[in-house]
A and B are shown apart, each in its own frame.
Chain A
Amino acid sequence: MPWSRFDSNYEAPAGARDITYCAAIREAIDQAMCLDPRVFCIGLDADDKFGVFGSMSNLTHPERVLGTPISENAMTGVALGAALSGMRPIHVHLRNDFLLVAMDQIANYVAKWQDMFDHQVKVPLVIRSIIGRGWGCGAQHSQSLHGLFAQIPGLKVVMPSSPYDVKGLMLSAVKDDSPVLFLEHRWLYKNTGNVPEAMYTLPIGKAATLRRGGSLTVVATSLAAIHALKACEQQELDVDLIDPRTIKPLDLDTILASVHRTGRLLVVDYDFPFAGFASEVVAAVCERAHESLRQPPQRLCFPDRGMPSSGRLERAYYPTPERIGELMRQMILGSSIDADSFVN
């Protein structure tokens, strides 16, 4: 099998250079398609001239890039059927919000197929989707919903923040024999970073520590991780910043070890707050590291309402590096503050 050389302790080869997040995705997909003829891409506008915001432009095998009608639910079933028949589809969506149209297939079929048949089958299916925001996109074009998807047993949910991670995790996702939901924030696409040219995989379910510090543990993924990093740098804060990279499975060990050292936890999650990813991290830490916590953990999420469209409201709706930094500073410096002020 062409994937056998990518076992878990395979070392990323040398030969890295700076490329964008978008180029890293493209490179991973192109290499996967070249390596394995079973890999194909399918999705609405997958084959148009824009190449999914450039992430699928000029692929070596355009004959394995299939455009589809606006039929997300059926197309998810088509991708699943192909995966069950030996192919390794990458189903791509320009916005996460469109995944909801395919929720029956995603939640009832894709996620459950292995459990229902006691894992007699492989479901090597990657569902790629892009998180948008801004310019008045509004309530139906700006959602992330990773917490919702992670709630469904049977789905892995991956949301890398850096070009290096996105390439390695994309290759892991395609290599995986179970369904992976792969979420890319559109605002990360232009970011650049060091990426090896050769193929490499990164383990799904292993966090990255973006910054080491001793006073506060911050957990954040995707764009939130980049914003949190910026906040730490701007405010020179003593923060242990953990990017889980994959929220399901979740690398709780890394988070717990950090909280044991810092005694404080903040989860910055660019998703709705109720019963979401941030709630899950806080609950898990409270269950397992309660004695280490010096103050109540905090969550910084979107308001519990749909995205507004006016620029004024959008800018107030979304957390910023400045707001994240302010909250981190309060948590670190103001640990004597009455715990009530943390309940919001």
Chain B
Amino acid sequence: MDRKATLKREDGLWMLRRMRLIRQTSERIARLYPTNVMETPVHLCIGQEAVSVGLCRHLRDADKMFLGHRTHGPALAKGLPLPKLMAELYGRTTGCSHAFGGSMHLIDLEHGLPGSSAIIGGSIALGCGAALAAQLGKNDYVGVSYFGDAATNAGVFYESMNFAALRKLPVLFLCEDNGYSNVMPKSAHSAHDIVSVARQFMTTLQADGTDVLSVYEHTGEAVAQLRRGEGPVFLHCATKRWMKHQGHEACDIVDNGIDRERDCPIRKLEAFLLKSRLITPAELAQIEQAVEAEIDAAIQFAESSPFPDPSLLEVS
């Protein structure tokens, strides 16, 4: 498909801004994390921004997305306001989960994020539940189950796909495949090919998860099928995790195949937008600066927000 002919400037800019928001926020978190201002385990999404952003450009606030432990990117892409994320990481009452959830448990009801779980696998079923509710209630929203490659090892993955296919649920199975489960490569945790397995159950699409336009195109197709009521879709996005599984350090797995120049989703989009004359170099710089300012403001908001009072723990 000729992307230049089809991509609208506003879509391109939106995706660039969101990816920059995720990238720059993650980089700021990585810088601040060693100072212990955020007492919560962080699973950063640097390098993986294209997946959630390409996806969310096609989602509405009413669409309900369920996440696992690697939350920041998809939550920001879906619309979680940055100050609410930062305040949650800082353990303040103004955080999206009021200081009870931390990094792995984010919620934003206004933007279709009914919560995220740190036990691998289980939340895949929840996306199907949202889709079932849409179907039963004759609502036109869709459910999204957002998970990593290793979650396909859990039985709940198969059980959920089977049920979704049987009932033709409007649910998107979004597999953000970064090739690793912590330090375990996919070859060590999966004998199966994820895409072939998914094909047994439903329409299955494959996107380049380091290229936001690829994810965007395929999601468009997937979401259109869901909204037509033609049953669930599986979207596989192959991407790369630049950081360690958890924490602020760069991934130290030897032979991880990461080339930060070649694989950077932001550089790819920027290059495309420049080449297509959808953006100017000056605008690129402006976006980067505006995002920095947004992050400064969010951190200031978090730092000046109150800590929760221990009386909140009292059980009535």
A139 an interface residue at 8 Å Cβ cutoff? yes
B91 an interface residue at 8 Å Cβ cutoff? yes
Which of A108-116, A122-130, A232-240, A308-316 faces chain B? Answer: A308-316
Instruction: Give the residue name and chain of the B residue nearest to A73 (CB).
Output: B155
* Contact between A308 and B183, CB atoms less than 8 A apart: no
A136 — which chain B residues lie within 8 A by C-beta? 38-41, 91, 102-103
Given A136-B103, A138-B105, A311 and B190 contact (CB-CB distance below 8 Å): no
Q: Scan residues 134-178 of chain A and give those whose CB is less than 8 A from a CB of chain B.
A: 135-141
Q: Distance in Å from the Cβ of B35 to the closest Cβ of chain A?
A: 13
B99 touches which of A49, A70, A101, A308 (Cβ 8 Å): A308
Given A138-B105, A310-B308, A101 and B41 contact (CB-CB distance below 8 Å): no
Q: Scan residues 11-49 of chain B and give those whose CB is less than 8 A from a CB of chain A.
A: 38-41
B91 touches which of A141, A304, A311 (Cβ 8 Å): A311
A6 an interface residue at 8 Å Cβ cutoff? no
| Distance, CA A304 to CA B184, complexed state (A) | 36
A214 — which chain B residues lie within 8 A by C-beta? none
- Which of B39, B182, B188, B189 has the most chain A CB within a 10 Å cutoff? B39
B315 touches which of A305, A308, A312 (Cβ 8 Å): A305
A135 — which chain B residues lie within 8 A by C-beta? 39-41
| Distance, CA A100 to CA B118, complexed state (A) | 13
The bracket for how many chain B residues form the interface is 35 or more
Q: Distance in Å from the Cβ of B279 to the closest Cβ of chain A?
A: 39
Given A137-B41, A312-B91, A303 and B99 contact (CB-CB distance below 8 Å): no
- Which of A48, A69, A140, A303 has the most chain B CB within a 10 Å cutoff? A69
B154 — which chain A residues lie within 8 A by C-beta? 70-71, 101
Q: Scan residues 213-269 of chain B and give those whose CB is less than 8 A from a CB of chain A.
A: none
| Distance, CA A203 to CA B310, complexed state (A) | 41
* Contact between B118 and A313, CB atoms less than 8 A apart: no
A35 an interface residue at 8 Å Cβ cutoff? no
A316 — which chain B residues lie within 8 A by C-beta? 310, 313
Instruction: Give the residue name and chain of the B residue nearest to A100 (CB).
Output: B119
B150 — which chain A residues lie within 8 A by C-beta? 69-70
Given A48-B183, A70-B153, A310 and B188 contact (CB-CB distance below 8 Å): no
* Contact between B182 and A48, CB atoms less than 8 A apart: yes
Secondary structure class of chain B's binding surface, majority of residues: loop
- Which of A71, A98, A306, A309 has the most chain B CB within a 10 Å cutoff? A309
Q: Distance in Å from the Cβ of B151 to the closest Cβ of chain A?
A: 7
B120 an interface residue at 8 Å Cβ cutoff? yes
A101 — which chain B residues lie within 8 A by C-beta? 119, 121-122, 154
Q: Distance in Å from the Cβ of B70 to the closest Cβ of chain A?
A: 14
Given A70-B153, A135-B39, A309 and B315 contact (CB-CB distance below 8 Å): no
B307 an interface residue at 8 Å Cβ cutoff? yes
Instruction: Give the residue name and chain of the B residue nearest to A309 (CB).
Output: B102
Instruction: Give the residue name and chain of the A residue nearest to B313 (CB).
Output: A303
Q: Scan residues 60-106 of chain A and give those whose CB is less than 8 A from a CB of chain B.
A: 67, 69-71, 73-74, 97-98, 100-101
Q: Distance in Å from the Cβ of A76 to the closest Cβ of chain B?
A: 12
* Contact between B92 and A310, CB atoms less than 8 A apart: yes
Instruction: Give the residue name and chain of the A residue nearest to B181 (CB).
Output: A70
Instruction: Give the residue name and chain of the B residue nearest to A308 (CB).
Output: B100
| Distance, CA A75 to CA B214, complexed state (A) | 37
Interface string of A293-332 (1 = CB under 8 A from B): 0000000000111101111111111000000000000000
| Distance, CA A74 to CA B156, complexed state (A) | 11
A74 touches which of B95, B97, B155 (Cβ 8 Å): B155
Q: Distance in Å from the Cβ of A181 to the closest Cβ of chain B?
A: 19
* Contact between B184 and A48, CB atoms less than 8 A apart: yes
| Distance, CA A316 to CA B313, complexed state (A) | 8
* Contact between A140 and B118, CB atoms less than 8 A apart: yes
B5 an interface residue at 8 Å Cβ cutoff? no
A197 an interface residue at 8 Å Cβ cutoff? no
A69 — which chain B residues lie within 8 A by C-beta? 150, 153, 181, 189-190
Q: Distance in Å from the Cβ of B166 to the closest Cβ of chain A?
A: 22
Given A71-B153, A71-B155, A303-B313, A138 and B182 contact (CB-CB distance below 8 Å): no
| Distance, CA A308 to CA B95, complexed state (A) | 13
* Contact between B105 and A309, CB atoms less than 8 A apart: yes
Q: Distance in Å from the Cβ of B138 to the closest Cβ of chain A?
A: 34
B53 an interface residue at 8 Å Cβ cutoff? no
B314 an interface residue at 8 Å Cβ cutoff? yes
Given A140-B119, A310-B307, A311-B91, A70 and B189 contact (CB-CB distance below 8 Å): yes
Q: Distance in Å from the Cβ of B247 to the closest Cβ of chain A?
A: 11
* Contact between B100 and A309, CB atoms less than 8 A apart: yes
B100 — which chain A residues lie within 8 A by C-beta? 138-139, 306, 308-310, 313
For the A-B complex with A135-B41, A141-B104 known, give 7 more contacts whose Cβ atoms are closer than 8 Å: A70-B153, A70-B154, A138-B102, A309-B103, A310-B307, A310-B308, A316-B313
* Contacts from B to A (Cβ < 8 Å): 38-41, 91-92, 95, 97, 99-105, 117-122, 150-151, 153-155, 181-184, 188-190, 307-308, 310, 312-315
CB-CB nearest 7 A-B residue pairs: A309-B102, A136-B40, A310-B91, A316-B310, A69-B153, A310-B99, A136-B102
* Contacts from A to B (Cβ < 8 Å): 45, 48-50, 67, 69-71, 73-74, 97-98, 100-101, 135-141, 303-306, 308-317
19 of the cross-chain contacts (CB-CB < 8 Å) are A67-B184, A67-B188, A69-B150, A69-B153, A69-B190, A70-B153, A70-B189, A135-B40, A136-B38, A137-B41, A138-B105, A138-B118, A140-B105, A305-B313, A308-B99, A308-B308, A308-B313, A309-B91, A310-B99
